[in-house]
Structure 1
Amino acid sequence: MKWNHFKSKLLLKYTLSYISIFLIPLVILTIIIYHNAVDTLRSEIEQTNVNQLTQAKTVIDERMKELQDIAFRIAYDEQLTRYWTHHPYYSRESIGALVKYKATSSIIDELFLFFRGDNSIYSSQGFENLNVFTDRYKFNSWNETEMVRDLNSVQIPTMRPAEQVVQGTKTQNSMLAYLVPIAPNNTPAHGTVMYFIHESNLTGLIDSILSDYHGMTYIFDNYGQVLAANYKGETITEQEVNALFSLEPGTHSLSLNQEPHSVVSVKSDAGWTYVTAMPSNQFFGRIVHIRTFIVLVFSFVVMMGTILAIMLARRQYHPISDLMEFIRLKNDPEPSTPSNELEWIKKTLHDYSQRVDLQEPYARNHILLMLLKHGHTGEFPAEYTEKLGIRFSRSHYFVVTMGWESHALPIGDNPERRPVMQLMNDVELTAFSAYAYGVELPQPDQLALIVGFDAETGHEASLNARMEPIALALQSIAAEHTGVSPAIGVGNRYSYPEQLNQSFIEATTALEASMLHGQGSSTFFNALSGSGTQDSSFWVPKDVLLKLVQSLKQGSYDVAVQMVSTALNNLKAEMPSVPLLRCICFDILNTMLKTASELGIHHVVNQLPRVTSYDSLEDLEKKLAGLAAEICTHVEAKSETEESTLMDEIVAYIDGNFTDYDLSLGTISSKFSISSSYFSRSFKEKIGMNFTQYIWQKRMDEVIRQLLHTSDPLKDIITRVGYLDTPNFIRKFKKETGYTPGQYRKMHSPNAADSTDDDDEEYIG
């Protein structure tokens, strides 16, 4: 079958390479052109806003100057003197004069004339008592008393910020009050002219000049108070408003309401500050035509370039495809999703040479065990894990450990035992979107399961709730196929496979507690450790100490150091008193020393003076890390020594009992209380060959020895060395030596003449 070009990753790589040659510069150039167009348009819009806002500032300044001029004319108008306004006859002319002055400015809503010391005030409506500011005009924060005080004491033109004013029974309006003292002939001010101005009159001037502007508008006085504002549906914090006032004149980019804005600020000669703030996304709405044109040109160039890239890639790929097809036909391998054809060609022969020696179940178990113990796969590269079917593509992972009581399961090579491990080797839990990899542990009758499942990130409780049915489903599967429900321990959930060593330590700790409750019990580490409960006593959390103890017992230095760091970081965050802090620190140290004592590492007690003399928590953390390193080093060394000693004992036992036909992997594993996979792997590492090969070689050597030094019948010799199937042994003997046992005896034994098994070919028959 011809190799499918459409599935070729190498062809895809070539195609992408050619596309990248022109696509990357094209993308960069397009981005530069696009951003340049956007920046240019933005600059033009901002400059237009600056010019328009400056124009609006000029108009408003002129309106304010007009109001001051009106007040000046009022001060010198004889019809508006105190005498005329108080005269019963001429007061009508005074009111008429005020009406005329009010009409001269379009922004005035009402005009008042107040003579200081009076209890009345004059407006275009006529003579009124001061209670007009409680009856007809009621300010939100400017009461009558403060208003009268300001009317009598203001020395310079003063604008009050806009606020809500209730006009009679009408709805509220936002209005400003502008107070201008009047003092003709440079005498002390004898009165005050007060203008009421609708806030919309000022902001409307700005809006009319800015035309299609869509954004916020602010007018600040000299002290940063907002005199008038038009929010256009947006609201910002007081801190952001103060930031707008503090800006220098010109254009700026600020983040308001967590959105980028273009801000323009100008200042008037009177000290007022005018600010506009436009959302930056409005600029992009004005470049639709530019963007459309760029997208069309870009799409056309990409399409033509892609066609050309495919043509060039196929031309370069064709010779490689022919070579790969030739190798495939000669060797008949079936490539399965190779990284690319060149890699597949290079590794084909290498894979054949390794396939003979690769013992997938043992290698797979070793890789997973390394991941559980150390958080990595050791010397095995990722390609080996993929080849062995180990893939980590789920969002969350945790470890479940299972254990059976002694003699709860059949021992030896009983056929009821093996399917358990084979069944739990790969478990797919479709209902839970989860899978599990089984790992046989060195301890007898124990099994670990690496569980991966997919779940969206959510609350901790909901994720933990997903774990419980998965763990119980695995327990049920094991119970169904063994007839005995195992005790299980469940570690916490993590997001990365490299953190499985922590979950394994937690699961092992939970299993120890679970075994105390008997077969079929289940314990979750988070429940065991009391996670989620509030502890206000500042003590180190129970789960941290449990994981610290278990990591020291297993010689897992990385996890132990992490637990020490976690414990001390919690203390740094809680900041207990110094006596309590030292007490808690000694609790951590006591936990480590007690664990070391239980492991038989007694000499670490001699380090107490060094460890307890610390100057800071950082210093203590370094010393505890050193203590953990020493304990873990001793545990590892002790484990290696015990393993080496155990292997020596096993080899000695095999050498003394290899003639026992009941001798097998299962019986030896049971006798020495280790798992079969652990024994098989360790045995091969020590001897250089697997258990079956070693037994065969020992029996083969013994058969040859007896063939050469005795004249016993061949069948008796074969039976004595532990083989009951004589024909099968003779066939294997001939395959290895090239001769049958009888022929071999004739060629090499001085006693060949006395042999009675010259016709051993009859056993092959």
Structure 2
Amino acid sequence: MIRRLFQSRLFLRYMLSYLTILLLPLILLTVLIYQSAVRNLRTEIERSHLNQLTQARVTVDARIRELSDIASRIAYDNRLTRYRVHDPYFSSEAIAALDQYKATSSIIGELFLYFHGDEQIYSSTGLSSLDVFQSKYSFAGWDKEQVRQDLNTAAFPFMRPADRVMRNGHIEQSMLAYVVPVTPNNPNPHGTLLYLIEEGEFNGLIRSILGSYQGLTYVFDNKGQVLTANRQGETLSAEETRQLFEQPGGIHSLVLGGSRHSVVSVKSDLNGWTYTTVMPSSQFFSRVAHVRSMMLLLFTLVGLIGVFASLLLARRQYSPISQLAEFASSAFKAPAGRGSRASDELEHIRRVLRESSQRAGLQEPYARNHYLLMLLKYGGSESLTPDLLEAFQLRFDRQRYAVLVLEWEGPHDRAEAPPSLPGGLADLELPALAASLYAVELPEPNRFAFIAGFDPAEGEAEAGQLRRVVEAAREHAEGQLAAGPSIGVGTVYPGPGQLNESYIEACSAFEFRLSTGPGGTSFFAELSDAPGPADWLPPSLLLKLTQSLKQGSYDVAVPVIREALGFLQTSGAAVPLMRCMSYDLLNAMLKTASELGLPHSARDIPSVTAFSSLEELEESFRQLASRICSQAELNAKTEERTLMDRIVAYIDQHYGDHALSLESISHEYSISPSHFSRSFKEKVGLNFTQYVWQKRVEEVKRQLAATSDPLKDIIVQVGYWDAPNFIRKFKKETGLTPGQYRKQYAPDPAGASFDEEDAE
């Protein structure tokens, strides 16, 4: 084996290359390793802080959302209405209710409820006038008149920066004030909630996640004000602080206070706050001092095992080349006069690649359609490399994406049946609408989908722009099809990653098309506008859930279930009504399971009354959805295997029919031609044309060897009209003409009729 390796020029070149690399100056390698260690450690620390800061942002957002939820509950709490709070009999009950709400959040220092125009303010400790409240809580940067104005006019929630608060005239604390109008999101609030949060409690929440590190932490509001800061002894100027706020989210390097700092920043989508940490870059270098002591030992070992490593690396590099060369030798015979295999390995591989490239060119349309179909089923466009995207001539660089499902009434005459994807529909550019569409042939006959991508236009709603794209697609399809298609349109999403959801919605809208009539357009976004009982689950949710289960799309079904249960949670309906709506959701799932043939025992059906929370009910529904989707995928695979078995049996019986074609079988079994071609090759290993040709050739061989029938009659019997063309193809495959084959294999060639010249 070793001797054979050293006989290969390619292996020797690899070995010499590795030896040359090991002879490079060790000082250069030392510098590279040292710099790499510093860079990697810096990246590790920055990434760690970015993750921690993101977690801190999520935690704080959750607390702020918790305060908003408390405000919503207070707004609808009958105990805290203006009438009951002012009533002497019920006021104690209102104060107790505020105390209960205060206890639900650990960061609330004090909670106050104020009604517009009132001279009194209410808290968990009792009732007091505004003057008494302002004498007990004196803000250094929030004067009394401004406090009164903000309490009466606040229309949106806002957080005031940390301020020194004098409590009861002698206790000074640093606190943040969070003002929330009551009712939240109401353009005409009738009151205001004031949360007082101790800055130490707020900072402690962030510190518990970030841990101990050397640096600063800032929290900015959406206007650049510092809400709170943990400076740890180091301070920055106002200009430097402003510079921190202006940095985009991510990791940056800035010179602050005359030294280099690493800045990590994340922004909240909930309220626009910016969370920033500032770390001196010098701390990165202190952690790599031990690397220097390892360098000498490392390169001593490199020198000792250098030659051995060169042999191993060269062999490892050469091994796949050798295997590919062996494959090339088994697939292609080397031309006469060539050198030995060891000197011709790459040439063998080049020949295989050229042949494979030619074959791949023939399969590219099928691969392109298959990828787009998988994109519709499972979502995500990141699975293709830029090279493959370029090969498929696909670009997913639009800002908005939606899916359109189209179907037209095809002719009933098999001979006149058009292909499922007419020419001219594969790619459609609409420059006037800043849109592009990719057509995807679906397994169903006379049906295909458009992946529509477009960029939002200024001053125009997305719904209107999508409608114009749909109309343009309809006009183009009608020009190609000479028929008006029925169209179902999914929801617009901000990227191609959710095309599977839009496809499910488009199928749902398409199934709903009966309301629009043949040739109509149905938008999923408009299904929810269909009339129905108030406070019940929207029909579009149930329809989308049913479609996702039938398609076996678990990734789409789970968000729909979560959205439906979220609707129940926020509907404000009574518990019995919520249970009834839950039964609607369960019935839709069980009906789909029944249609798919999934058996259920009584104990497997979740009971909406047996759960203590919606989270447990959601988990039960998710398990049921998983079983249904698994069954749907199993049914689809079983049906396709059964269908292919039936088609193969049909071809075996009718290959002698001269009208047998890809389109005729597709029409016979109600399947699109390209999907049939793709599935047939996966099943048989040959494409349709090759398989039919092999069946016909085998039958011709059998009749040539067993009968004395004229060649022209035999060729017609196997479904061929063009005898000369058949003879040429027969000779190319077997190396013999039909007459020569009969002479060689017929038991009584003397009695046979040789009529090749007549056939030609």
Instruction: Verify same fold: TM over 0.5.
Output: yes
**Superposition map of 1:539-688 within 5 A:** 539-597=536-594, 599=595, 601=597, 603-604=599-600, 606-607=602-603, 610-612=606-608, 614-616=610-612, 617-688=614-685
User: For 1:701 and 1:380, how far apart are their aligned partners in 2?
Assistant: 41
User: For 2:695 and 2:230, how far apart are their aligned partners in 1?
Assistant: 93
The amino acid that maps onto 1:643 is E
CA deviations over 1:166-203 (Å, ceiling 9, x no partner): xxxxxxxxxxxxxxxxxxxxxxxxxxxxxxxxxxxxxx
Per the alignment, residue 442 of structure 1 pairs with 443
Per the alignment, residue 475 of structure 1 pairs with 474
Say whether 1:514 aligns with 2:517: no
User: For 2:698 and 2:142, how far apart are their aligned partners in 1?
Assistant: 109
- Which of 233, 238, 262 is the equivalent residue of 1:279? 238
User: For 1:585 and 1:219, how far apart are their aligned partners in 2?
Assistant: 49
CA deviations over 1:443-485 (Å, ceiling 9, x no partner): 11111111122237x89x8122221111111111110122111
The amino acid that maps onto 2:611 is D
Per the alignment, residue 120 of structure 2 pairs with none
The amino acid that maps onto 1:526 is A
Identity among equivalent positions (%) equals: 41
- Are 2:446 and 2:672, in contact at CA under 8 Å, matched by a contact in 1? yes
Say whether 1:400 aligns with 2:404: yes
- Are 1:549 and 1:591, in contact at CA under 8 Å, matched by a contact in 2? yes
The alpha-carbon distance between structure 1 residues 241 and 712, as it changes in their structure 2 partners (threshold 3 A), is closer
CA deviations over 1:613-668 (Å, ceiling 9, x no partner): 53231221122112212222222222222222222221121111111111101111
Shift of 1:749: 0.9
User: What SS class does the counterpart of residue 438 from structure 2 fall into?
Assistant: strand
**Superposition map of 1:74-153 within 5 A:** none
The alpha-carbon distance between structure 1 residues 623 and 26, as it changes in their structure 2 partners (threshold 3 A), is closer
The alpha-carbon distance between structure 1 residues 28 and 716, as it changes in their structure 2 partners (threshold 3 A), is closer
User: For 1:374 and 1:584, how far apart are their aligned partners in 2?
Assistant: 29
The amino acid that maps onto 1:484 is A
Shift of 1:676: 0.8
The alpha-carbon distance between structure 1 residues 412 and 224, as it changes in their structure 2 partners (threshold 3 A), is farther
Say whether 1:485 aligns with 2:484: yes
The alpha-carbon distance between structure 1 residues 679 and 420, as it changes in their structure 2 partners (threshold 3 A), is closer
**Superposition map of 1:296-311 within 5 A:** none
- Are 1:432 and 1:453, in contact at CA under 8 Å, matched by a contact in 2? yes
- Are 2:598 and 2:631, in contact at CA under 8 Å, matched by a contact in 1? no
- Are 1:253 and 1:260, in contact at CA under 8 Å, matched by a contact in 2? no
- Are 1:444 and 1:675, in contact at CA under 8 Å, matched by a contact in 2? yes
- Are 2:598 and 2:628, in contact at CA under 8 Å, matched by a contact in 1? no
**Superposition map of 1:330-341 within 5 A:** none
- Are 1:367 and 1:378, in contact at CA under 8 Å, matched by a contact in 2? no
- Are 1:611 and 1:623, in contact at CA under 8 Å, matched by a contact in 2? no
Shift of 1:521: 0.9
CA deviations over 1:598-626 (Å, ceiling 9, x no partner): x1536336346544453231221122112
- Are 1:545 and 1:591, in contact at CA under 8 Å, matched by a contact in 2? yes
User: For 2:256 and 2:572, how far apart are their aligned partners in 1?
Assistant: 58
User: For 2:549 and 2:698, how far apart are their aligned partners in 1?
Assistant: 45
The amino acid that maps onto 2:544 is K
User: What SS class does the counterpart of residue 422 from structure 2 fall into?
Assistant: helix
Per the alignment, residue 698 of structure 2 pairs with 701
User: For 1:355 and 1:464, how far apart are their aligned partners in 2?
Assistant: 44
Say whether 1:423 aligns with 2:424: yes
User: What SS class does the counterpart of residue 401 from structure 1 fall into?
Assistant: strand
User: For 1:242 and 1:476, how far apart are their aligned partners in 2?
Assistant: 63
- Are 2:381 and 2:496, in contact at CA under 8 Å, matched by a contact in 1? no
- Are 2:420 and 2:445, in contact at CA under 8 Å, matched by a contact in 1? no
Per the alignment, residue 364 of structure 2 pairs with 360
- Are 1:401 and 1:508, in contact at CA under 8 Å, matched by a contact in 2? yes
- Are 2:199 and 2:228, in contact at CA under 8 Å, matched by a contact in 1? no
Per the alignment, residue 5 of structure 1 pairs with none
- Are 1:433 and 1:453, in contact at CA under 8 Å, matched by a contact in 2? yes
Per the alignment, residue 20 of structure 2 pairs with none
**Superposition map of 1:48-59 within 5 A:** none
User: For 2:228 and 2:619, how far apart are their aligned partners in 1?
Assistant: 52
The amino acid that maps onto 1:563 is V
List runs of 5+ in structure 2 lacking aligned partners.
1-28, 44-139, 144-162, 173-193, 204-215, 245-254, 260-345
Shift of 1:278: 6.4
The amino acid that maps onto 1:560 is A
User: For 2:693 and 2:379, how far apart are their aligned partners in 1?
Assistant: 37
The alpha-carbon distance between structure 1 residues 21 and 676, as it changes in their structure 2 partners (threshold 3 A), is same
The amino acid that maps onto 1:756 is S
The alpha-carbon distance between structure 1 residues 348 and 556, as it changes in their structure 2 partners (threshold 3 A), is farther
Shift of 1:695: 0.7
- Are 1:397 and 1:451, in contact at CA under 8 Å, matched by a contact in 2? yes
User: What SS class does the counterpart of residue 603 from structure 1 fall into?
Assistant: coil
CA deviations over 1:202-256 (Å, ceiling 9, x no partner): xxxxxxxxxxxxxxx9999994899xxxxxxxxxxx9999989xx9xxxx99768
Shift of 1:728: 0.6
Aligned length: 492
Shift of 1:696: 0.4
- Are 2:404 and 2:506, in contact at CA under 8 Å, matched by a contact in 1? yes
- Are 1:398 and 1:490, in contact at CA under 8 Å, matched by a contact in 2? yes
CA deviations over 1:106-141 (Å, ceiling 9, x no partner): xxxxxxxxxxxxxxxxxxxxxxxxxxxxxxxxxxxx
- Are 1:371 and 1:500, in contact at CA under 8 Å, matched by a contact in 2? yes
The alpha-carbon distance between structure 1 residues 649 and 419, as it changes in their structure 2 partners (threshold 3 A), is closer
User: What SS class does the counterpart of residue 451 from structure 1 fall into?
Assistant: strand
List runs of 5+ in structure 1 lacking aligned partners.
1-16, 32-160, 165-216, 227-237, 266-275, 292-342
The amino acid that maps onto 1:483 is A
- Are 2:419 and 2:673, in contact at CA under 8 Å, matched by a contact in 1? no
Q: Bigger shift: 683-692 or 348-357?
A: 348-357
Per the alignment, residue 144 of structure 1 pairs with none
User: For 1:621 and 1:538, how far apart are their aligned partners in 2?
Assistant: 20
CA deviations over 1:138-183 (Å, ceiling 9, x no partner): xxxxxxxxxxxxxxxxxxxxxxx9999xxxxxxxxxxxxxxxxxxx
User: For 1:631 and 1:713, how far apart are their aligned partners in 2?
Assistant: 59
User: For 1:697 and 1:162, how far apart are their aligned partners in 2?
Assistant: 91
Shift of 1:511: 1.4
User: For 2:625 and 2:552, how far apart are their aligned partners in 1?
Assistant: 9
Shift of 1:280: 3.6
Q: Bigger shift: 686-695 or 421-430?
A: 421-430
Per the alignment, residue 284 of structure 2 pairs with none
TM-score by length of 2: 0.55
User: What SS class does the counterpart of residue 440 from structure 2 fall into?
Assistant: strand
User: For 2:607 and 2:228, how far apart are their aligned partners in 1?
Assistant: 60
User: For 2:627 and 2:589, how far apart are their aligned partners in 1?
Assistant: 11
Say whether 1:369 aligns with 2:373: yes
Per the alignment, residue 117 of structure 1 pairs with none
